[in-house]
Amino acid sequence: MKSSTSRFYHDHLLVKEPNTKQITPWHQDQPYYNIEGNQTCSFWIPVDPVPRYSTLEFIAGSHSDGRWLMPRTFMNYEAKWFPEGTLEDIPDIDANRDAFPIIGWAVEPGDVIAFHMLTLHGARGTTASEGRRRIFSVRLLGDDITHAPRTWITSPDFSDITPEINPGAPMDHPRFPILWKSSQ
C-alpha cells in the first residue's frame, strides 16, 4: 500500500457450495464502501483448495488509473449505490475474455492473494467435483484513506460511525484498529 500503517477495515467469509452456478460478477471493492483514498488492500485467503476455474480472477492493472466503475448488486445488477449514469459501467468482460488481461491462480489453504480495492475482479461458480469453496476476505486501509459518508447504506453498513468520524477525516476509530505500523 506504500503506507506507514495498516488499519483493519472489515472481514467476511465467502462460501460457494459444490456445483454453484452463481458467479461473483466483475466488480471493484472500494465503490461499495464509505472511504476515499488510494492506499487500500483486499486479501483473499482460501480455507479450501480452489482450482483455477473457480478462483478469483483479476483484470491486471485495472486499478492503476484510479477510476471508479459503477457498483451494482450481485443478484439483479441494480445500480443501488450511485445514481444510474454517474459512473462508467464495467465492460462485459465475459463476453470478450480474450480482450482483457485476465489473471488468476489455483490456490491452496495457506496462500493469500492481495490486491488493490479498485482492481476489477470476479469469480465463476464451482464445479460438481469441487468441495465447498470457503474464502476468508480481509480489507485493510492505509494512511491516505479518509471517511466518506454516503447517503445510502454501504456494504458493510458503517452508518453508525458517521457522527463519530468527520467527512474527510482519517479512519481513526476503535472499530478500525491499526494492525501494523512502520518503525521508521
144 pLDDT band, cuts 50/70/90, is very high
Distance between CA 47 and CA 123 in Å, rounded?
16
The predicted-structure confidence for 70-116, as pLDDT tens digits, reads as follows 998 888 888 878 888 899 999 999 999 999 999 999 999 999 999 99
Residue 184 has pLDDT above 80, yes or no: no
Q: Are 125 and 20 in contact (CB under 8 A)?
A: yes
* 3-class DSSP state of 53: helix
Q: What is the dihedral of CA 56, 49, 113, 156, to 10 degrees?
A: 70
Q: Of 35, 46, 47, which Cα lies nearest the Cα of 8?
A: 35
- pLDDT attached to residue 93: 96
Confidence of residue 140 (pLDDT cuts 50, 70, 90): very high
What SS3 class is residue 170?
Answer: strand
Q: Which whole number is the average pLDDT over 158-173?
A: 95
Enumerate the domain spans of the chain: 5-181
Peptide bond before residue 83 is cis, with ω within 30 degrees of 0: no
CA atoms within 13 A on the CB side of 123: 21
Q: Domain 5-181 is classified in which CATH homologous superfamily?
A: q2cbj1_9rhob like domain (2.60.120.620)
Position 155 scores a pLDDT of 83
